Amino acid sequence: KFESKSARVKGLAFHPVRPWVCASLHNGVIQLWDYRVGTVIDRFEEHDGPVRGVDFHVSEPLIVSGGDDYKIKVWDYKLRRCLFTLLGHLDYIRTVQFHPSPSQFPWILSASDDQTLRLWDFHKRSCLSVLTGHNHYVMCASFHPSEDLIVSASLDQTVRVWDTTGLRKKQMGETMMDPMAARAATSSAAMNVQAELFGTNDVVVKYVLEGHDRGVNWACFHPTLPLLASAADDRQVKLWRMSETKAWEVDTLRGHANNVSSCLFHPKHDLVISNSEDRSIRVWDVSKRVGVQTFRREGDRFWILAAHKSQNLLAAGHDSGMIVFKLERERPASAHGSNNQLYYVRGRELFLHDYGRAQGGVDVPIASLRRVGQQAQTDGIGSAPRHLAYNQYNPGEGNILVCSDIDGGSYELITFSLNNAGNSVTDGKRGSCMGPAVFLGRNRFAVLDRHQRQIIVKNLQNETTKRVQPPVANVEGLFEGGTSGRLLLKAEDRAILFEVQSRRVLGEITAPKIKTVVWSPDGSKVAIVCKYGVVIADRQLEQLCSISDNVRIKSGAWDVSPAGGTASQLFLYTTLNHVKYCLPSGDTGTIRTLDTPLYAMRAVKDQLFCLDREARARVLSIDTTEARFKLALANKKYGQVMHMVKNSRLCGRAIVAYLQSKGFPEVALHFVQEPKTRFRLALACGDIEAAMEAAFALEQQSESGREIWGQLGSEALRQGNHQVVEMSYQRTKDFDRLSFLYCITGDTEKLRKMLKISNMRGDIMGRYHNALLLGDAAERVSVLEASGNMPLAYMCARLHGLTEDAERIKIAIETNKGDMEGLIAKVEACEAANDKSAAKLLQPPTPIFRAENWPTLEVPKSALADLTAAMPEDPEEDRTENLHVAPAASSGDWDDDMDAGFGDDAGPSANLAADDDDFDFGGGDDWGDEDLGDLGDDFGDADMAAEDEMGAISDDTGFQMPASGRLPASCWVSNSSHASDHVAAGGMASALQLLNRQIAASDFSVLQESLMGCYLGSMMSVPGIPGSGNMAMPMLRNDSAAHPGPESLPRTYLTTKDLVAAIRNGYKFFQGGKFNDSRATFLDVLHKIPVVVATTPQEQNEVKEMVTIAREYITAIRIKGAMSEAGSNPVRSTELAAYFTHCNLQPLHLLLTLRTAMGAAFKHKNYITAASFARRLLELPDISNQRNAELKSKAMKVRQKSEQMARNEHQLNYDDTKSFVIDCHAFAPIYQNQPSSLCPYCGSHYAENTMNNSICDNCGLCMVGVNTLGLVTG
């Protein structure tokens, strides 16, 4: 579950409630880990030297630790500091522990190398008792979980059990009721001295257990039974039993190869777990007293073990860190039946839980599961069933497959009557498998063979009817495919939808660490539950959304509510501590928290039906209002949205932010009351009235009014509401903007008032601006005169014809001894220039039209903006039919035609693989004229649903100035870095530059046809009216929902379907021996791929895969041509034939290459090489086909003859034992450690420095040896 890397871990403790584990290290650091998310929460570093013991307080935020510095420290992890230190021990402290009931007994128990144990009162911070008796290091000490007992282990080879009853009575005050208490009090001082010297009689030794031959490292109590376990340096673990009067050895567990460091009883099962310095952890069955499991770790010795008090968790510390682990998975095996039923396993019983028979459902026992194999005889170590599969396709009887991991994987088929489930069970049929087994139809199921990784199809009599090779070699498990005849294959980090009968790959999707697969009730969607995420896809495995989580995901279930529109649209999943939801649109959220992990089975309305870890049915109340709200918003059910806004308690910043991000701030405006948020939302949706209300409220709250009114003014100005703009500028005292507003609105009266206000304020610039906007020349002259700018005042008065003012100013200038001659010359020159050019003085325009606000086109409020106009949609009818709709059952005959009806299911990736139907080599040495068969041309295109309009445009006669747009070509260039989009926009230079930067393209002549097609295919020509020219209309690829506007992108004339068709033709030519045609076809694919735009991640992966396919086939065809040229040279022709087999071709074509290479090597008497080719040929799956019987016989004869001769006539530059790639220029091997150069586009390999800065021989397009970004596909 978790692994940490650190210094040697010497002490471990689980927090009783939170997902924390405390580790004390040999370097003196104490680490507090959250093992659920794998992060360090805190570190405590006050100890000097190794810290060997640590423990959590049950209820208070306390940690106790003890180390080699002789100190016991008590820490408060909330305050993150040490509270106090207890001193008294004289040597290393080995273990420390809080009392199991610290509220009654605030005790700490410590064990030390000073040969004593000590009990401390951490409230009084004093030592209560010193326990002496051991005569060597005391390695550990612990309290009994419920009784007044302490156990200690020492290197003196003994285990001691101590009775603390006397100390308990003393602490509880029982001695106060004793009539002898007064006499005892008189000798208390003497007792304290005795306690320090010889130990106290409050704690006495009850048993001394002797039996180990060397020092004992650990001892512990059983949680409930009178048992003890001890671990010692004699490599043994011993079990002891206690009675009231004595204790004796029960048995010895042998198996460790070195000192046993620690041991403990499992808190839930009859198991003992021990670890040792032999680098192993061993699990022992207490009842059988034998070892049942061993876990080994290379290079790290184990030192400490800890168990969680309430959960099935263990922790072990070793030399380089620690691990937190379980001995078995706790998810109960379960499967959905028909008619609202659930089948699950509890213990060794198979139960049916019927949700419809009573409130919360009824449990009906079906069958008892037999224990098979040695591992299955012990509970708690992974012997329980892991998977259940119910046959949805068989309505006549019940069939269940029970799968477990026992003996590498096994299954059991249970058959029973649906009418009398408990009394009609037939004997189970068993077999081996890898992972879950899956039903394929009414009378057949599929298992994965764990040895050959083949899909084995069996009937209900457990007889094998067919073996199918998976499309990929590394299949790890099978899951239900959603309908009859399909499987979902788990292969590394992806899921593959596979049709068994036609052996077609229908879809593929990336999904790392898949745990389970949940199909929606109507079969339209699938949720792939991974370890840390959920991937939702449609029935063709096209991804709809993918979410990730920081915490492990436990389970998931689709909503099956009969009404509300959430059935098959809402997916609920559980983590360790939460119930969350996910919508196909990608929206997620948290519904509620969980105290303990639960496994979701079924969701109906506001109830979640779960199983807990004990396989008990639980019903949780959940509130899915938020999820239903988001779903209704995504589906444009606006009446339902407004009904929920009005009647539900929707609130919170998350909902507000969500509505804003989705473009619906007017919805949030209905239930947000906080003025600041309401103001922001009102601005976002353009509601000036609501924004004004919020602005007034904020102003009363003494908020920053200037900023608020400034934002409101900007929005009102954008809408042309200059009355609100005026009020905003008045409240912010923005006089300059207010004056300009009056100028452009033609309000000269208020502009004159602004002139008076600026005069009263003594604002010289304000007066001048207002006078300029009013066209008042006399006022401007007076402002310039008052500000001391006499020459400017004279020029202004003279030019505007104010002769009296000009004379007066002239006298004032001359009085002050100013220079008037130069000034008069400038004015006269200016007047002459004006007369010559007919220039006129600058005056503001006279307003001829005054209105309250600028004219705009009125748009009625949408249903979302007007709550009263939103009529709730009709409630959906209650569907009374079965919520779990079973897929249509097949006819029951495995050999029926499974191809019918699945033509639309093949995705593009299905067409990249060659079909093996009707493959025949014929009798000659040529490859024959057989093609690859029909690879399918059907690609299911989803229907584009028409979007509803949110509101209709009214037919008012007001004028609205249309916004200026951008040319489509300029949008395409700025929105994309793909070369095809630049070509479509006519930017050939930028497109070629992009190709050169991305894939080092150099010879663009080979791309001429593709580039011209891309340019011409992005536009269409529409004939105009007679007498006018044609109109060029852009064709867009992202306008399915609405016009994208400035985000538009052009449609490309090539798609991945065209490339798939070309790849298929290349296969046919290759198989038919038409190598020149095949090479031309694959080369054409390579030249078209740079201008193909992939729209989904799956298509992007397919395009890159097609580059690899084309490269490999072109290389193979070029090698085939070189073989013809080197026919007279036996060495070179044999080498080329050998390289021919190392091209990554389809399996059917590899068969052909191996046959050719085998014949060439045998002909030239290179028998060792011929034998290797024959062996490879015989290992191919297709060689077992009846149609290849003659070739198989020939290969076996070649192998037999070659093994008899066992010599090579010629020395070849070929070593099939080493990994190599082919030099695509010299056709020679480049071994793993040899340097090479790559083509940045097709990935062809060349020997270093032989082809650098030259055009690639395979693609003929790009420069070899240039380091680039690589092909941009989308």
Do residues 550 and 532 make contact, with C-beta atoms less than 8 angstroms apart?
yes
Pairing of strands 444-448, 438-441: antiparallel
Residue of higher predicted confidence among 683 and 480: 480
Q: What is the mean pLDDT of residues 750-776?
A: 82
pLDDT in tens, 610-659: 888 888 888 888 888 888 888 877 777 767 666 776 666 665 566 666 66
Backbone angles phi, psi at 129, to 5 degrees: -160, 145
User: Shortest CA distance to 1258 belongs to which of 1116, 1089, 1072?
Assistant: 1116
Kindly state the tokens that stand for 1161. 């090597």
Q: What is the pLDDT of residues 574-586, one digit of tens each?
A: 988 889 999 988 8
For residue 201, give the nearest of 125, 104, 132 by alpha carbon: 132
Sheet holding 71-76: strands in order across?
51-56, 62-67, 71-76, 81-87
C-alpha 493/C-alpha 723 separation (Å) is 62
Model confidence at 198: pLDDT above 60? no
Residues in the chain: 1274
**Per-residue DSSP letter, 1040:** S
**3 state DSSP class of 772:** helix
Closest CA to 231 of 182, 159, 323: 159
Model confidence over 16-65: pLDDT tens digits?
988 899 999 999 999 999 888 788 999 999 899 999 999 999 989 999 99
Mean pLDDT calculated for residue range 459-471: 88
Amino acid at 11: G
Residue-by-residue DSSP string for 1051-1083 = PPS--HHHHHHHHHHHHHHHHTT-HHHHHHHHH
Residue 140: its pLDDT value, please? 94
**pLDDT at residue 946 greater than cutoff 50:** no
Q: Are 611 and 657 in contact (CB under 8 A)?
A: no
Residue 671 confidence class, pLDDT cut points 50, 70, 90: low
Question: What per-residue confidence (pLDDT) applies to 560?
Answer: 86
The pLDDT of residue 908: 39
For the chain, percent of residues with pLDDT exceeding 70? 82
Residue 420 is predicted with a pLDDT of: 66
Torsional class of 1165: left (φ above 0), alpha (ψ -120 to 50), beta (otherwise): left
Query: Average pLDDT of the chain?
Result: 80
- What per-residue confidence (pLDDT) applies to 263? 94
Burial class from Cβ neighbours inside 10 Å (0-12, 13-18, 19+) for residue 42 reads: middle
**pLDDT tier at 550 (50, 70, 90 boundaries)?**
confident
Which residue in the block uniquely carries the two structure tokens 């790959």? Answer: 505
From residue 1251, alpha-carbon distances to 238, 746, 1242, 1248 in Å are: 72, 76, 14, 7
The whole-number pLDDT of residue 358 equals 63
Taking 60 as the threshold, does the pLDDT of residue 961 lie above it?
A: no
Q: What is this structure's pTM?
A: 0.55
Give the whole-angstrom CA distance, residue 807 versus residue 187. 124
Pairing relation of β-strands 494-499 and 486-491?
A: antiparallel
Given this model, what pLDDT does residue 1109 score? 93
Q: What is the pLDDT of residue 968?
A: 79
Tokens describing residue 83: 């509270």
Q: Which of 48-62, 551-565, 734-748 has the lowest average pLDDT?
A: 734-748
Q: pLDDT grade, residue 108 (50/70/90)?
A: very high
Q: CA–CA separation, 764 vs 786, rounded Å? A: 9
Which pLDDT band, with edges at 50, 70 and 90, does 274 fall under? very high
Encoding tokens for residue 328?
A: 């078995």
Give yes or no for a contact between 650 and 644, defined as CB atoms under 8 angstroms apart: yes
Mean of the pLDDT values across residues 728-750?
A: 79
More confident site: 1223 or 915: 1223
307 within 8 A of 314, measured Cβ to Cβ: yes
Which residue from 567, 1191, 1218, 485 is spatially nearest to 887, judged by alpha carbons? 485
550 contacts 37 by C-beta, under 8 angstroms: yes
Q: What is the three-state SS of 282-303?
A: EEEECCCCEEEEEEECCCCCEE
Per-residue pLDDT tens over the stretch 417-426: 877 655 566 6
Which one-letter DSSP state was computed for residue 1208?
Answer: B
- Higher-confidence residue of 1050 and 943: namely 1050
In whole angstroms, give the CA distance from residue 723 to residue 962: 23
Q: Kindly calculate the radius of gyration of the chain based on its CA atoms and give it in whole angstroms.
A: 43
Low-confidence winner among 184-188, 733-737, 786-790 (lowest mean pLDDT): 184-188
Mean pLDDT (whole number) for 1075-1094: 91
Give the per-residue pLDDT at 378. Answer: 66
Residues ≥6 apart with Cβ < 8 Å to 160: 133, 134, 151, 152, 154, 205, 207, 208, 209
Helix-strand-coil percent breakdown of the chain, rounded to 5? 30, 25, 40
138, with CB counted inside 10 A (0-12, 13-18, 19+), is: buried
Nearest to 597, CA basis, from 583, 582, 614:
614
With a cut of 70, say whether residue 563 has pLDDT above it. Answer: yes
Is the predicted pLDDT of residue 948 greater than 90, yes or no? no
- Give the mean pLDDT of 175-193: 40
With CA atoms as reference, report the closest residue to 1122 among 1211, 1226, 1220.
Answer: 1226
Per DSSP, the residues of 791-835 read HHHHHHHHHTT-HHHHHHHHHHHHHTT--HHHHHHHHHHHHHHHH
Q: Per DSSP, what are the bridge partners of residue 63?
A: 56, 75
| For range 1024-1037, the mean pLDDT | 78
Non-local CB neighbours of 655 within 8 Å, separated by 6+ positions = 626, 629, 668
Residue pLDDT, tens place only, 233-253: 999 999 999 988 888 898 999
Decide the pairing of beta strands 216-221 and 204-210: unpaired
pLDDT at 177: 41
DSSP at 585: T
Q: What is the pLDDT of residue 190?
A: 41
Angle subtended at Cα 692 by Cα 691 and Cα 693, rounded to the nearest 5 degrees: 90
Task: Give the whole-angstrom CA distance, residue 446 versus residue 480.
Answer: 10
Provide the percentage of residues in the chain whose pLDDT is more than 90: 20
